[in-house]
């Protein structure tokens, strides 16, 4: 087993992780930045087949390279012995990371709410289809409906349109009045106002349905029609692809495994981004979904604090607080309506890995009970897709997290177990 030691280990190379790594490394600390992807940037700065990062990301990626922080890509955390003692897999190798402080920047994932037909070929997560298009998957000439909720839908629709897709409609579950009520807050954020205006202008010819949501997908072997609830009743939208997402869910599994307090689905942090576990900090979407600017500011606070620079962490906190206020405005504007948790029918598959239907898991007391009796959440994704949806649909509390966080071989599991046992004996 390979061992790597550092002053600060940062997990996740999205905006928050990159900022944290820069902040700590620029203060003379040895920093190791881990990410499971082949390049830094996370989903928001994913380069795909672009020869260069986006302009917004380039300065930060260049700053990361100049900082001296080590970037370890293709790394997946699978187990822990504590907040400063982590086990990962890189290819076929097990790596143990030890540090003086750890910063979690594990980001968020899309929230999928099942509805009839959502498993048909041609239905994608909104961010997932965007990522595939960035990677070169052909969408040119394809008719796409972008549906769900949140500002991500605008960005996805514009990107797909630029890639040659025909955007049939943008379907947003939030009412137009709720979005209008949030508009005055944008005046305090001119850069965001310009961004929203630019996206809106790019989509000026696209049909936009507010207070609308998917009801079902129809088609024989693939998507043919998305039926949505809209003002005045049902509306049928002929399409080739559906990009659907109902916002983002903080990725808290590793934080939970490390014992960090999680409140209402987000990691609880102090003013300096410290979690409830000593030596463990958190930044970015896992502390509350707020967008790239919020993630960058939180990453700077966490990186400075992990490096022991209390004054710098305090200075960056003012920017963080301003971004947090904007995130709260978005939360109110895009609050999910209760109808969305009742879209699935009894035979609608809710756990795709284990082929479990809504009728099979409806009414269980908690996720553990459902796992024991249906295997729901025990597939390759380890409940990352069905878990958040079922917590909303069944009003479950948080699920327990057990290692390994990702499927690994029994040999790797035994190797980690032996290392942990040796540590206990010493």
pLDDT of residue 256: 96
Is 60 exceeded by the pLDDT of residue 48? no
3 pLDDT above the threshold of 70: yes
Does residue 412 lie in a domain region? no
Q: Tell me, yes or no, whether 162 lies in a domain.
A: yes
Q: Return the pLDDT at 50.
A: 52
- Give the pTM: 0.92
Residue 349 shares a structural domain with residue 296: no
Q: Residue 337 has what pLDDT?
A: 95
Q: What is the mean pLDDT of the chain?
A: 93
What's the pLDDT score for residue 49?
54
Query: Could you tell me if 74 and 25 lie in one domain?
Result: yes
Read off the CATH number of the domain in which 326 is found: 3.50.50.60
**Residues 160 and 40 placed together within one structural domain of the fold:** no
Question: Is residue 347, in this structure, part of any structural domain at all?
Answer: yes
Q: Does some domain include residue 399?
A: no
Least confident of 56-60, 248-252, 347-351: 56-60
Q: Domain check: are 303 and 177 in the same one?
A: no
- Report the pLDDT value the prediction gives residue 57, as an integer from 0 to 100: 87
Please check whether residues 282 and 387 belong to one and the same domain.
no
Q: Is residue 226 part of a domain?
A: yes
Q: Is residue 101, in this structure, part of any structural domain at all?
A: yes
Same structural domain for residues 193 and 204? yes
For residues 129 and 23, membership in a common domain is answered with no
Q: Minimum mean pLDDT among 146-150, 155-159, 381-385, 421-425: which range?
A: 421-425
Binning pLDDT at 50, 70 and 90, where does residue 9 land?
very high
pLDDT tens string 77-121: 999 999 999 999 999 999 999 999 999 999 999 999 999 999 999
pLDDT-derived band of residue 392, with 50, 70 and 90 as boundaries? very high
Q: Is residue 137 located within the same domain as residue 233?
A: yes
307, 331, 355: which is the final residue of a domain?
Answer: 331
Q: Is the pLDDT of residue 51 over 70?
A: no
Do 101 and 183 belong to one domain?
no
Same domain, 354 and 285: no
pLDDT average, residue stretch 194-218: 96
Average pLDDT of span 3-9? 98
**In the 3-class helix/strand/coil scheme, how is the chain assigned residue by residue?**
CEEEEEEEEEECCCHHHHHHHHHHHCCCCCEEEEECCCCCCCCCCCCCCCCCCCHHHHHHHHHHHHHCCEEEECEEEEEEEECCEEEEEECCEEEEEEEEEEEECCCEEECCCCCCCCCCCCEEEHHHHHHHHHCCCCCCCCEEEEEEECCHHHHHHHHHHHCCCEEEEEEECCCHHHHHHHHHHHCCCHHHHHHHHHHHHHCCCCEEEECCEEEEEECCCCCCEEEEEECCEEEEEECCEEEEEECEEECCHHHHHCCCCEECCEECCCCCCECCCCCEEECCHHHCCCCHHHHHHHHHHHHHHHCCCHHHHHHHHHHHHHHHHHHHHHHHHCCCCHHHHHCCCCCCEEECCCCEEHHHHCCCCCHHHHHHHHCCCCCCCCCCCHHHHHHHHHCCCCCCCCCCCCCCCHHHHHHHHHHHHHHHHC
pLDDT at 398: 83
Residue pLDDT, tens place only, 214-223:
999 999 999 9
Residues 78 and 144 in one domain: no
Identify whether residues 235 and 117 lie together within a single domain: yes
Residue 262 lies in a domain: yes
Domain holding 288, by residue range, is: 2-109+249-331
pLDDT tens digits, one per residue of 261-287: 999 899 999 999 999 999 999 999 999
Q: Is the pLDDT of residue 52 over 60?
A: no
Residue 277 lies in a domain: yes
Examine the fold and report which residue of 224, 246, 268 is the final residue of a domain before the chain moves on: 246
Give the lowest-confidence range in 23-37, 45-59, 190-204, 207-221.
45-59
Q: Answer yes or no: is pLDDT of 47 > 70.
A: no
* Total structural domains within the chain: 3
**Per-residue pLDDT at 424:** 67
Residue 133 reports pLDDT greater than 90: yes
């Amino acid at each position: 087993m390979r061992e790597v030691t550092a002053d600060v280990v940062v997990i996740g190379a999205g905006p928050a992780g990159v900022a944290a790594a820069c902040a700590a490394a620029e203060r003379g600390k040895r920093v190791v930045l881990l990410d499971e992807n082949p390049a830094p940037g996370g989903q928001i700065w994913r380069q795909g087949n672009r020869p260069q990062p986006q302009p917004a990301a380039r300065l930060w990626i260049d700053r990361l390279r100049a900082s001296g922080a080590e970037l370890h890509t293709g790394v997946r955390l699978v187990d822990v012995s504590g907040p400063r003692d982590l086990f990962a897999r890189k290819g076929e190798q097990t790596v143990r990371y030890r540090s003086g402080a750890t910063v979690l920047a594990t980001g968020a994932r899309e929230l999928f709410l099942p509805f009839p037909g959502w498993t048909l070929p041609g239905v994608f997560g909104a961010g997932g289809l965007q990522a595939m298009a960035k990677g070169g998957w052909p969408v040119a000439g394809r008719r796409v409906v972008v549906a769900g909720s949140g500002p991500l839908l605008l960005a996805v629709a514009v990107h797909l349109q630029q890639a040659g897709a025909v955007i049939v409609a943008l379907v947003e579950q939030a009412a137009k009045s709720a979005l209008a009520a949030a508009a005055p807050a944008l005046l305090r954020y001119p850069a965001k106002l310009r961004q929203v205006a630019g996206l809106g202008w790019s989509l000026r010819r696209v049909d936009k349905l507010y207070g609308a949501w998917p009801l079902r997908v129809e088609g024989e072997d693939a998507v043919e029609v998305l039926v949505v609830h809209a003002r005045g009743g049902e509306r049928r939208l002929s399409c080739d692809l559906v990009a659907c997402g109902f916002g983002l869910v903080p990725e808290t599994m590793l934080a939970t495994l490390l014992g960090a307090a999680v409140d209402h689905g987000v990691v609880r942090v102090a003013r300096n981004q410290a979690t409830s576990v000593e030596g463990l900090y958190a930044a970015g979407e896992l502390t509350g979904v707020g967008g790239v600017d919020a993630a960058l500011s939180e990453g700077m606070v966490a990186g400075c604090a992990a490096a022991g620079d209390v004054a710098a962490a305090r200075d960056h906190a003012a920017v963080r607080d301003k971004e947090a206020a904007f995130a709260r405005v978005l939360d109110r504007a895009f609050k999910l309506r209760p109808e969305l948790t009742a879209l699935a029918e009894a035979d609608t598959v809710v756990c795709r890995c284990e082929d479990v239907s809504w009728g099979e898991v409806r009414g269980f007391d908690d996720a553990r009970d459902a796992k024991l009796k249906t295997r729901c959440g025990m597939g390759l994704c380890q409940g990352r897709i069905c878990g958040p949806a079922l917590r909303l649909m069944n009003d479950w509390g948080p699920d327990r997290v057990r290692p390994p966080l990702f499927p690994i071989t029994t040999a790797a599991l035994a190797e980690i177990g032996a290392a942990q046992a040796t540590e206990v004996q010493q």
